[in-house]
Amino acid sequence: MENYNKLVEHYKTIANYNHLSAICGWDAAAMMPSGGNQARSEAMAQLSLHIHQLSTAPHLSDLINQAQDENLSAPEHASLREMKRQWQLSTVVPEDLVKAKSLAGSKCEHAWRTQRGANDWSGFCNNFEEVVNLSQQEAQIRGEVAGLTPYDAMLDIYEPGVNSEQLNSIFGDLTSWLPELTQQVQDKQKQESVHTSNESYSTSAQNALGLEVMSLLNFDFEHGRLDISSHPFCGGVPEDVRITTRYDEQDFVQSLMGIVHETGHARYEQGLPRQWAGLPAGQARSMGIHESQSLFFEMQLGRSDPFIANLAPLARQHFKGNDPSVFEANNLKKIYTRVQPGYIRVDADELTYPAHVILRYEIERDLMNGKISYKDIPELWDNKMQQYLGLSTKDNYKDGCMQDIHWTDAQRNQSHNYKNGCMQDIHWCDGSFGYFPSYTLGAMYAAQQMATIKKLMNVDEIIQSGDLTPIFDWLDTNIWKKASLFTTDDLMTQATGEALNPLHFRKHLEERYLK
Amino acid sequence: MENYNKLVEHYKTIANYNHLSAICGWDAAAMMPSGGNQARSEAMAQLSLHIHQLSTAPHLSDLINQAQDENLSAPEHASLREMKRQWQLSTVVPEDLVKAKSLAGSKCEHAWRTQRGANDWSGFCNNFEEVVNLSQQEAQIRGEVAGLTPYDAMLDIYEPGVNSEQLNSIFGDLTSWLPELTQQVQDKQKQESVHTSNESYSTSAQNALGLEVMSLLNFDFEHGRLDISSHPFCGGVPEDVRITTRYDEQDFVQSLMGIVHETGHARYEQGLPRQWAGLPAGQARSMGIHESQSLFFEMQLGRSDPFIANLAPLARQHFKGNDPSVFEANNLKKIYTRVQPGYIRVDADELTYPAHVILRYEIERDLMNGKISYKDIPELWDNKMQQYLGLSTKDNYKDGCMQDIHWTDAQRNQSHNYKNGCMQDIHWCDGSFGYFPSYTLGAMYAAQQMATIKKLMNVDEIIQSGDLTPIFDWLDTNIWKKASLFTTDDLMTQATGEALNPLHFRKHLEERYLK
């Protein structure tokens, strides 16, 4: 075990540096005054370089090869498998290409900040062309080494084991019934009246309510905290998880469910097995599984009838001066299940969200595989928006294909990002093609997990009781404590009796929105 | 300049890691939930080791030697001098001794936490003996290399250029008149009545007042912030200075002047010259000069009549529900200049503070030079307390020699600590003998700086106007922007026309307390 033990020590060293990077990254988003930005960026770049050097250290290759022949237990074998995976992901792309891509990405993102507002697609393309070009090179190289198509090789960074053949089938199925379902639900909801209010909801009351809801979700405040940042995320380390939200005094709705969402990410991190702390096998399984936990909390629990019934009196209590009829359970439910196709992915509801993901998937897949040019994106975007959501984005780049260039909620899985050693932000501008499918995969995994739990216990009664521990115990045993010790397919099969089955998602949506 | 430039690059790399260490250190004190402690400690230890390796890299010696012959400007020569100084301080003590001392210090400090409350001196000595023993070895080694007595070599870490011959003379002079002055002031103050209150002062009002006072002191909120920690300090980096305070709802007095004090440290850091950022020459000159800035703010400005006159209406405004007679300027002045000998250094007033420092100096000097044993400390402590402050600490270890073992306000100068690459906390328990004189040297430097400024401008009028910029401009030009480009003596001579002259301190005290 000499070689394996050396690897363990090495990866724990990397984890220590990732810890510092995660905390300073959180600080930059939640605490740092603007004047600290330049010095911080330089310090973080130095640290990233150091982590990159450790992650790609040439002697790791020999250690990994020699450790294969050592007398390892089954979990140690899984651990070694994940080390090998990380080493390969980190080393396969030549340094020069990594640097060029990072530079092109920064340049593109910086210009995008003003170009989006100006709806300036052609200006944007001046930089974006290079990003696409370098990303295609990366995808090509990764694909050749892994024996995959270029796009599947990119996908494999975020969602190991998933390929576009699968996605084509799953997403193809979705697009065959989702537009119609959306229409049906919209028709149904047209007859309902939702009571909203123009009142102001103080930040401090929203914060107090958020903290109480986190407690209801058993967030471990000994190992984490809630703060404010302009883009909500879940950062920090499993021993000290930092989630953030932003408060809009005109609207308590978004922040509240945002906190529930981030609490799902946080509890996954907090629940990861400590005996594998710092090792690749002890980290979250994939972006999709991470998203499955946040969406389990937000969609499966947070928007359920009994949860909203519990939320209602809490909201009434914290927003004492506000119109109480808004927080009446039935009205709150209508607010939280309102379906309305729109242009912007991050503002989308549960039902229309997959359309945003699928159109991005179809575009980035063909782009990475060289079947389309970046110039084709606006027209494809418009066509697909019309097909899936009945909206046109013709000539409207800023609410169309230029919306998702920016840093979104991706930093949430920071530790997971570093795990792969090859990225920090997730967006096309940085050339992070292949990430988007994780969102909808997550929604499907979550529905499937809930379907299994519902066979084992009376979920509604448990949520109603206010003590959700039995549900969390199931997640803890079947998802959190498994970390990356199994492939995603094995993880899901052990937990639910089958690999990903999108039927559960469809049933969940029909149950919630047509009932 | 090839070698010098390599050194610059190397020290900027170290500064980047120190940046991350400073932010994560601040986070641990101000933000981190308790459950994050172990993982953080491990990550910080990893980083410290890395910084230590960079600071002691053997090739630096050659680079420094070869750079001496390069064509350097005067400031570059000063920069090289400071690099050499840091390299020597970091490398002169053998690794084994550094590790043993760190281990013994942690053990001693951990046990002290319960031993102090139990007044358990003999239990404490079981660990403290080893700390003293190892520190004496360190002092011996440093002394031999530097051609200094063991204690002077320790002193040199914190206060380069100052030796015990000087301190004996300065502190000897102080002890010849300070006890009598203290008595005189106490007699005078006996006849005055001070109005205090048992009311509660809300944390949020204290915080708002603190922030307003920081603005009055031109704290740059684009490059820093105020938070809460159990031990107030000034941390972070010059580009992003983090100061902390703690709030006691029964007492707004301490926190308010504590904020003024830390703002002094902060403005020094914020004012350091950016063109020397990251280099040893660009850092604060010494612990004593750092303390001179905090005490300039707290004592020279903060407790002055015109400043208190400005403070009074602000306090009245922020503590609206509280008894306004407490904040009447004349009363506030009495509160902030009350003299009362006590056992505890950190609670001492301006007049009795030096006695606490001098007794520690005399003890640690003789201890490091092997003239006394650690066993002699309680008796010496008691004798000196009686002599200087008229109080006995016989058999009262917890308020006597066991009080100052703990982390106090030293972390404030974190960046400066790292600068020396050999310590993080400052106390006897960690074997940081030689630090205490800096406090009183700082008070003297501050009085001397103010005496010079008063010759140049009408300080009272300026403070009264509420725009203190002319005073800060003088400090910025004469102290902050000079960083470590000159020796302390040269710095003070250029700024005030003479090296340290304790007469200014005596005049200041007599003026304030006897007038």
- Has residue A421 got a pLDDT over 50? no
- Has residue B344 got a pLDDT over 50? yes
Q: What is the DSSP string of B247-276?
A: -BTTBHHHHHHHHHHHHHHHHHHHHS-GGG
Helices B353-368, B164-190: axis angle to 10 degrees equals 150
- Has residue A1 got a pLDDT over 90? no
pLDDT band, very low/low/confident/very high, at A132 (cuts 50, 70, 90): very high
Name the residue among A16, A36, A43 with its Cβ closest to that of B46. A16
- The phi-psi region of residue B318 (left if phi > 0; otherwise alpha if psi is between -120 and 50; otherwise beta) is alpha
**Which residue on chain B is closest to A47 by alpha carbon?**
B17
d(CA B414, CA B20): 12
What ipTM goes with this model?
A: 0.93
Give the residue-averaged pLDDT of A415-423: 35
Q: What is the DSSP string of A236-289?
A: EETTEEEEEE--BTTBHHHHHHHHHHHHHHHHHHHHS-GGGTTSGGGS-S-HHH
Best CA proximity match to B266, nearest among B290, B289, B282: B290
Q: Tens digit of pLDDT for each residue in B74-88?
A: 999 999 999 999 999
Sheet architecture: strand order including A234-237 = A224-228, A240-245, A234-237
- Has residue B499 got a pLDDT over 80? yes
Name the residue among B13, B46, B239 with its Cβ closest to that of A36. B239
pLDDT band, very low/low/confident/very high, at B410 (cuts 50, 70, 90): very low
d(CA A272, CA A283): 7
Write out the two tokens for A468: 């959700």
Name the residue among B13, B36, B240 with its Cβ closest to that of A36. B240
Residue of A13, A14, A27 to mutate, testing the B interface (most B Cβ within 10 Å of its Cβ): A27
Classify residue A439 as exposed, middle or buried by CB count within 10 Å of its CB (0-12, 13-18, 19+).
buried
Q: Minimal Cα–Cα distance from A377 to chain B, Å?
A: 40
Question: Among the residues of B351-468, which ranges form H helices?
Answer: 353-368, 377-389, 414-420, 437-456, 459-465
**In sequence order, what are the beta bridge partners of B245?**
B228
**Mean confidence (pLDDT) of chain B:** 93
Q: Which residues, in sequence order, are CB contacts of A284 under 8 Å at separation 6+?
A: A268, A269, A272, A290, A413, A415, A416, A419, A483, A484
Give the residue-averaged pLDDT of B305-333: 96
Q: Catalytic residues of A, which ones?
A: 262
Name the residue among A16, A27, A39 with its Cβ closest to that of B42. A16
Q: Minimal Cα–Cα distance from B20 to chain A, Å?
A: 7
Q: Do residues B170 and B144 touch, judged by C-beta distance below 8 A?
A: no
pLDDT band, very low/low/confident/very high, at A113 (cuts 50, 70, 90): confident
- Has residue B170 got a pLDDT over 80? yes
Classify residue B261 as exposed, middle or buried by CB count within 10 Å of its CB (0-12, 13-18, 19+).
buried
Give the residue-averaged pLDDT of B377-404: 93
Residue of B16, B202, B272 to mutate, testing the A interface (most A Cβ within 10 Å of its Cβ): B16
**Stretch (H or E) spanning B331:** helix B329-336
> How many CB atoms within 10 Å of residue A173?
14
In three-state secondary structure terms, B338 is: coil
Q: Do residues A278 and A12 touch, judged by C-beta distance below 8 A?
A: yes
Write out the two tokens for B127: 């660990």
d(CA B391, CA B387): 8
Q: What is the pLDDT of residue B190?
A: 95
Q: Which residues, in sequence order, are CB contacts of B410 under 8 Å at separation 6+?
A: B233, B417, B425, B426, B427, B432, B435
- Has residue B415 got a pLDDT over 50? no
Q: What is the pLDDT of residue A426?
A: 47
Q: Using a CB-CB distance cutoff of 8 angstroms, which residues of chain B are in contact with residue A31?
A: 31, 225
Backbone angles phi, psi at B162, to 5 degrees: -95, 140
> How many CB atoms within 10 Å of residue A322?
18
Best CA proximity match to A160, nearest among A45, A249, A54, A284: A284
**In sequence order, what are the beta bridge partners of A20?**
none
Q: Tens digit of pLDDT for each residue in A363-373?
A: 999 999 999 99
pLDDT band, very low/low/confident/very high, at B109 (cuts 50, 70, 90): confident
Q: Tens digit of pLDDT for each residue in A281-306?
A: 999 999 999 999 999 999 999 999 99
Instruction: Annotate B100-115 with b (16+ C-beta within 10 A) or e (fewer).
Output: bbbebbebbbebbeeb
Q: Minimal Cα–Cα distance from A240 to chain B, Å?
A: 5
Q: Do A43 and B19 touch (CB under 8 A)?
A: yes
d(CA A491, CA A497): 10
Q: What is the pLDDT of residue A243?
A: 96
Q: Do A35 and B239 touch (CB under 8 A)?
A: yes
Beta strands B234-237 and B240-245, pairing class: antiparallel
Write out the two tokens for B456: 């140049």
pLDDT band, very low/low/confident/very high, at A495 (cuts 50, 70, 90): very high
Which of A314-323, B90-99, B141-150 shows the lowest per-residue confidence on average (mean pLDDT)? Answer: B90-99
Could you give the dihedral angle defined by the CA atoms of residues B112, B113, B118 and B123, in that order, rounded to the nearest 10 degrees? Answer: -20
Q: Do residues A153 and A164 touch, judged by C-beta distance below 8 A?
A: no
- Has residue A411 got a pLDDT over 50? no
Highest-scoring range by mean pLDDT, A108-117, B36-45, B339-348, B451-460: B451-460
pLDDT band, very low/low/confident/very high, at B427 (cuts 50, 70, 90): low
Q: What is the pLDDT of residue A403?
A: 85
Per-window interface: A 29-58 vs B, CB < 8 A: 31-36, 38-40, 42-44, 46-47, 50
Best CA proximity match to A223, nearest among B157, B35, B502: B35
Q: Do B240 and A23 touch (CB under 8 A)?
A: no
Percent of chain B topping pLDDT 70: 96
pLDDT band, very low/low/confident/very high, at B259 (cuts 50, 70, 90): very high
Give the residue-averaged pLDDT of A80-103: 92
Give the residue-averaged pLDDT of A185-205: 95
Q: Do B240 and A33 touch (CB under 8 A)?
A: yes
CA distances from B143 to B70, B84, B136 (A): 30, 17, 10
If DSSP states are collapsed to H, E and C, what string results for A361-398?
Answer: HHHHHHHHCCCCCHHHHHHHHHHHHHHHHCCCCCCCCC
- Has residue B279 got a pLDDT over 80? yes
Classify residue A261 as exposed, middle or buried by CB count within 10 Å of its CB (0-12, 13-18, 19+).
buried
> How many CB atoms within 10 Å of residue B480?
22
Q: Which residues, in sequence order, are CB contacts of A408 under 8 Å at separation 6+?
A: A231, A345, A346, A426, A427
- Has residue B408 got a pLDDT over 50? no
Q: Do residues B320 and B459 touch, judged by C-beta distance below 8 A?
A: no
Q: Catalytic residues of B, which ones?
A: 262
pLDDT band, very low/low/confident/very high, at A405 (cuts 50, 70, 90): low
Q: Do residues B408 and B391 touch, judged by C-beta distance below 8 A?
A: no
Pairs across A and B, CB distance < 8 A: 100
- Has residue A353 got a pLDDT over 50? yes
Give the residue-averaged pLDDT of A477-505: 97
The one-character DSSP state at B323 is -
pLDDT band, very low/low/confident/very high, at B113 (cuts 50, 70, 90): confident
Q: What is the DSSP string of A11-61?
A: HHHHHHHHHHHHHHHHHHHHT--GGGHHHHHHHHHHHHHHHHHHHT-THHH
d(CA B410, CA B287): 9
d(CA B58, CA B160): 24
pLDDT band, very low/low/confident/very high, at B416 (cuts 50, 70, 90): very low
Q: Using a CB-CB distance cutoff of 8 angstroms, which residues of chain B are in contact with residue A36?
A: 223, 236-237, 239-240
CA distances from B487 to B71, B79, B238, B434 (A): 21, 12, 21, 18
Q: What is the pLDDT of residue A427?
A: 65
pLDDT band, very low/low/confident/very high, at B405 (cuts 50, 70, 90): low
Q: Which residues, in sequence order, are CB contacts of B245 under 8 Å at separation 6+?
A: B210, B226, B228, B229, B232, B255, B258, B259, B262
- Has residue B183 got a pLDDT over 90? yes
Q: Do residues A457 and A125 touch, judged by C-beta distance below 8 A?
A: no
Q: Is A223 annotated as a binding residue?
A: no
> How many CB atoms within 10 Å of residue B193?
7
d(CA B499, CA B513): 25
Q: Minimal Cα–Cα distance from A363 to chain B, Å?
A: 39
**Stretch (H or E) spanning A226:** strand A224-228
d(CA B82, CA B486): 10
**Mean confidence (pLDDT) of chain A:** 93
In three-state secondary structure terms, B499 is: coil
Give the residue-averaged pLDDT of B329-345: 96
Q: Tens digit of pLDDT for each residue in A223-265?
A: 999 999 988 899 999 999 999 999 999 999 999 999 999 999 9
Classify residue A466 as exposed, middle or buried by CB count within 10 Å of its CB (0-12, 13-18, 19+).
exposed
- Has residue B424 got a pLDDT over 90? no
**In sequence order, what are the beta bridge partners of A227?**
A244
- Has residue B412 got a pLDDT over 50? no
Q: Do residues A149 and A366 touch, judged by C-beta distance below 8 A?
A: no
